[in-house]
Structure 1
Amino acid sequence: MKENKVELAFIGYLARYVRLESVKLKKKYQEVKYRKLLILDAPRNNGDSEGKKEVIDSITYSCLSL
């Protein structure tokens, strides 16, 4: 009987943990998605190749920091 209560408590803990982690992951994904949209909406620099490199670097960095 005691083992059953311990198992149920542990399963409840795991369920809460998984739910909270999934909410955190969803928020992080939405934040990254929003940043990418802002980067893509940024005005282009006419003929400025260094500006293009910065945009590519920032997209790459945001993907790697996941």
Structure 2
Amino acid sequence: MKHKPHLKEKENCTFIEAKVAYLAQILTQLQNEEDIKKMNKLIDMLEDNNDVQEVHYNLETNE
């Protein structure tokens, strides 16, 4: 797990929550508009599925 060096105890930070998260090391882009729509639809469907707890992907988005 990587430590964020900019968070220092001397700054009087109070942490409310801590968790492990997936961070993609290599991001990818989709060029084809149809592929982008399909990927967004897939992500939306997975996020709406009650059996899916978290959705991780390495797609670079313009949001």
Is the pair's TM-score, using the shorter chain for normalization, greater than 0.5? no
* TM-score w.r.t. length of structure 1: 0.34
> Which structure has the bigger radius of gyration?
1
More helix by share: 1
* TM-score w.r.t. length of structure 2: 0.35
* Greater RCO, CA 8 A, separation 6+: 2
